[in-house]
Structure 1
Amino acid sequence: MNEKRRTLLKTMGGSTALAALAGCISTGGDGGDGGDGGDGGDGGSSDGSDSSGDENQGTATLWTDLSDGEDEAMSSYVDEFESETGFTINKEAPGGELDQQLETAIPSGEGPDSWIWAHDWVGRFAVREEPPFLYDASDDIDSLGAYTETAQQAVQYDGAVHGLPFASETVALFYNEDMVDEAPETLEEMVSTMEEFHDPESGEYGLSYPVADPYFTSGFIQAYGGDIFDEENLEVTLDSDACKRGMDALDTVSDYVPADPGYESQIVAFADGAAPFAINGPWELANLQSEIDNLGVAPLPTIDGNNPRTYSGIQTFYFSAMLSDADQSTVDATTGLAEWYTTNEDVIETNAAEQGYIPVLSSVVEDGDLSAEVEAFARQVDHGVPIPTHPDMNSVWTPLTEALTRVFNGNQESGPALDQAASEIRENL
């Protein structure tokens, strides 16, 4: 299935390569020089004894896949952790779709000890039994109470702790302050401005927005109070009247984006100054600030007085089932990095300032000293809803993506498209 909310953006035109979502981390850094990485014993989990140097306390493998700015920062932090603790972290980028790589690597015993992605895979992987995909670290960590309540809940399933959280994320409105004076507060104001700039024949558009991606479009679809998936009652409610009203609003803004709804075509239009607005996430903040001199961020405009209810994710260090058979030194290295990174106030505050990460470490959240950009994303998170973690949500992404694509291409009206998607989802449950 295609449930990715972000994809790696290749270099296009005159723009710097921009990367979409932060699901994981880096390929760089010298952390892998101290051990044998994925070739170690226990199926990719090195036990520390194979690493060179007498001071190595244990070795663990981390799979990552972030944007360039995030990658560089994470590599630096991992190096710092290694220097302070004597652990060795082999940072690897498996390539391709991360979930697909995990689906192959873990059953074969070649998976990582940890990986980084949003919290919505917790339920999907927690119910796997043969083979198991996640490790319960309840007895190995003592930092769970340091995070916000929402973040604590996001990394747990059925009482087990399957990871540690370090940031929340959702999509909000980017705007080019050289093109518009201020962010629109209502959808009507936004449409008026988009109409002014939209001229596709001249390569200019009103909006940059991956309108065929359910994660990005969730705010519009759920703006009138409907839920794409009702996790409390385990019901598919995508075809509700409320969701259809939201879909109509989405259809309105879709008229102002480039003809290719894919992530790459959309973000490049905004980065090149060919659109006044973009709807995207904090993972693009550092990249876009390097492209646009005067970049603003605001919550999404209201729709008939309603705040768009965007899906939000909690970025998480996952604990892999590979740890179940690993030496204790590998468990210590894996959980040690996660706890060090997610509870380090300097790390969290720097990431908020430089990467746009929305803190979930309670002490930093309570301090309230965040940049205007991060505050804007945080306000949108307050309007949104966490991505459901129930395994049934896994059946939602592809039918909804296909419905959004049909509507965008003019092959189906929005109402029937949601009816069809809801029917397909129910059949797949």
Structure 2
Amino acid sequence: MKKILSFLLALVLTFSLAACGSPKNGDSKEDVSKTTENNSSQASTQNKDQASSSELKPEEGASLLVWESKGKEGDFIKYVAKEFEKKYGVPVKYEEVGTVDAEGRLAQDGPAGTGADVFAAPHDHTGGLVSSGLIVPNSVYGDRIKKEFMKAAVDGVSYGGKLYGYPTAIETYALFYNKDIFPEAPKTFDEIIAKAKEFNDTDNNKYTFMWDVANAYFSHCFIAGEGGYIFGKGGTDKNDIGIDSKSAIAGAKEMLKLKGILPVNSGDSSSQIVEGLFQEGSVGAMINGPWAVAATKKSGVNFGVATLPLLSDGKHPTGFSGIRTLFVSAYTKYPKAAQLFANFATSKEMLLKRYEITHQIPPVKALMDEPTIKNDEYVAPFLEQAQYAVPMPSIPQMQLVWEPYGAAFAAFWNGESTPEDALKNAAETVREAIKSQE
């Protein structure tokens, strides 16, 4: 009787999985959300069913489409696709789709049945993807991610208490310094200010230190270093906005101490200008990310990378971290194969290979001591800085922050407003924008 019941239960589960197919063209957002919940339940059921097995088994006849940006990231997906097909017999097609474009593309192509099964997107898109019903939770392999990956990566790809993504890399920014100007990496901003007395030559566009002032992504490190924040509860509470808090204002005043050695308007310190001057040897140090290493090497400037200098009170600037992530589409016809691919692509072995291809930092704790990573002078400092970084909030309301927040930095840097007024105006703009969406 037990065998008969087990057979009937397996039969019921099989038909249940078939019934949880992709949302059809014309389904409403409510229908899509229900499908997401069904897929989540399905994944949970699969997890229980596979308790005695190390992994899922792909559906018979499965094939996958994976979206990732072009370049080295795409090269990695091509490599994984070949290895995955060798191991599981599932063909995988790679299509070039930019990570920031994937969400919009899937909203259009998913219902039509032409969207990706697995796709790459920035972690701060997680909230929007969940709210739109475009992705399913990482229910089967979530425990592995939580156990093996850095907390910042886990937090970054979670939303509403559930883990959704499969992290592939963690990025933050650090200090690039010209070794001919700073033989040793400056440990504090006070050292940089002191150096400016002998190096600065504003008439000839020579500055000891520069960064993209009006870019909130970079300048937030000063605010957060003093305890300021975007949203409360670890970036999840849209009703608790902290960019006009006392701590945030203190961080803005700390940042303004650098105006004396960088007497230019924010428009004259864009990333393009800063990188160009640094590469020609006219800037002693700059804030930038690992994406700038290749071009800086190519320029021939004698440079190094180090953690961000300490603020005047000895605190660490707290930059944003970004998590490159794979997500499984709610529209996939092959949820088992799709989850299996995302998990395979983020295994320790595959992410080490990804590092070799992209030189992007894998957010896996076991790889932190990998010699090829920790001994890379252009990678290790970003890894060290990552311990002081916080993930960009991934709730949908974060997209309402960037423009007014960046405008606030420009306003008080350019002397058009006080830090208090600039940040309070930005915070109020964000609060009103959030309220208008409710």
How far has the Cα of 1:404 moved from its partner? 2.2
Q: Greater shift after overlay, 200-209 or 172-181? A: 200-209
Alpha-carbon deviation of 1:227?
1.7
- The counterpart of 2:330, out of the listed 318, 321, 336, is 321
- Output the CA distance in 2 between the equivalents of 1:420 and 1:318: 36
Aligned CA distance change for structure 1 residues 340 and 267 (closer, same or farther; 3 Å): farther
What displacement does 1:94 show?
Answer: 5.1
- For 2:134 and 2:163, locate their aligned partners in 1 and report how far apart those are by CA, in whole Å: 13
Q: Of residues 348, 351, 364 in structure 2, which corresponds to 1:361? A: 364
**What SS does the corresponding residue of 1:231 show, helix, strand or coil?**
helix
Answer whether contact 2:138 2:166 (CA < 8 A) is retained.
no
Match of 2:320 in 1: 311
Q: Is 1:88 aligned to residue 75 of structure 2?
A: no
- Select the residue among 161, 177, 180 that pairs with 1:178: 180
Of 100, 124, 131, the residue aligned with 1:127 is 131
CA distance in 1, matches of 2:412, 2:315: 23
Hey, what's the Cα distance between the residues in 1 that align with 2:206 and 2:357?
Answer: 29
CA–CA distance in structure 2, aligned partners of residues 78 and 197 of structure 1: 51
Letter in 1 for 2:419: S
Residues 309-341 of structure 1 deviation map (CA, whole Å, 9 limit, x = unaligned): 112122211222332xx2x2xx35533432222
Select between 192-201 and 292-301 the one with higher mean Cα deviation.
192-201
Write the distance in 1 (CA, Å) between the matches of 2:396 and 2:241.
13
Change (3 A) 1:155 1:428: same
The aligned residue for residue 218 of structure 1 is 220
386, 394, 414: which one pairs with 2:391? Answer: 386
Following TM superposition, by how much is the alpha carbon of 1:259 offset from its aligned partner in structure 2, in angstroms? 4.4
Deviations 1:158-212 (A, max 9, x none): 3544220122221111112233201111111122334544435434333342222
> Could you tell me whether the CA contact under 8 Å between 1:197 and 1:205 is conserved in 2?
yes
Over 3 Å counting, the alpha-carbon distance change for 1:107 and 1:294 in structure 2 is farther
> Structure 1 residues 88, 417: CA separation in 2 closer, same or farther (over 3 Å shift)?
same
Contact 1:285–1:355 (8 Å) recurs in 2:
no
Q: How far apart in 2 are the matches of 1:235 and 1:287?
A: 39
TM-score (norm 1): 0.73
Which residue is equivalent to 1:115? 119
Cα-Cα RMSD: 3.3
For residues 412-427 of structure 1, the aligned pairs below 5 Å read: 412-427=417-432
Q: Which residue of 2 aligns with 1:302?
A: 310
Tell me, in whole angstroms, the C-alpha distance in 1 between the residues paired with 2:300 and 2:72.
Answer: 16
1-side partners of 2:378 and 2:401: how far apart?
31
Aligned partner of residue 378 in structure 2, secondary structure: helix
d(CA) in 1 for partners of 2:103 and 2:428? 25
Query: Counterpart of 2:418 in structure 1: which amino acid?
Result: E
Asked if structure 1 preserves the Cα contact closer than 8 Å seen for 2:152 and 2:390, the reply is: no
Distance 1:98 1:212, change over 3 A: farther
Moved more, 171-180 or 195-204: 195-204
Task: Report how far residue 224 of structure 1 moved.
Answer: 1.2
Contact 2:192 2:209 in 1 (8 A): no
Q: Identity, % of aligned pairs?
A: 28
Greater CA radius of gyration, 1 or 2?
2
Task: Count matched residues.
Answer: 367
SS of corresponding position for 2:95: strand
Question: 1:284 corresponds to which residue?
Answer: 292
Against the structure 1 CA distance between its residues 260 and 108, is the aligned structure 2 distance closer, same or farther, given a 3 Å change threshold? farther
Question: 1:350-373 deviations in whole A, cap 9, x for unaligned?
Answer: 554674433322322365761243
Residues 183, 237 of structure 1: CA spacing in aligned structure 2 closer, same or farther, 3 A cutoff? same
Which of 398, 405, 410 aligns to 1:400? It is 405
Counterpart pick for 2:211 among 200, 204, 209: 209
- The match for 1:191 among 176, 190, 193 is 193
Give, as a single letter, the amino acid of the residue that structure 1 aligns with 2:241: V
Equivalent position SS for 1:289: helix
Verify: 1:334 aligned to 2:342, yes or no. no
Alignment of 1:225-304 (within 5 A): 225-232=227-234, 234-253=239-258, 255=262, 259-292=267-300, 294-304=302-312
> In 1, distance between residues paired with 2:400 and 2:195?
37
**Structure 1 residues 159 and 422: alpha-carbon distance in aligned structure 2, compared to 1, 3 A threshold:** closer
Distance in 2 between residues matched to 1:370 and 1:363, nearest whole Å:
12
Equivalent position to 1:373, from 365, 373, 378 = 378
Code of the residue aligned with 1:370 in structure 2: it is K
Over 3 Å counting, the alpha-carbon distance change for 1:262 and 1:95 in structure 2 is farther
Distance verdict in 2 for CA 1:272–1:63, change over 3 Å? farther
**Distance in 2 between residues matched to 1:42 and 1:270, nearest whole Å:** 52
Partners of 1:268 and 1:74 lie apart in 2 by 32
Contact 2:207 2:283 in 1 (8 A): yes
Q: CA deviation at 1:75?
A: 4.7
What is the Cα deviation at residue 60 of structure 1?
A: 2.9
Q: How does 1:146-185 map to 2 (within 5 A)?
A: 146-185=148-187
Q: Is the 8 A contact 2:221 2:317 kept in 1?
A: yes
Structure 2, unaligned runs of 5 or more: 1-22, 26-59
How far has the Cα of 1:302 moved from its partner?
A: 0.6
Normalising by structure 2, what TM-score? Answer: 0.72
- For residue 251 of structure 1, what is the amino acid of its counterpart? L
Distance of 1:212 and 1:103 partners within structure 2:
32
SS in 2 for 1:242: helix
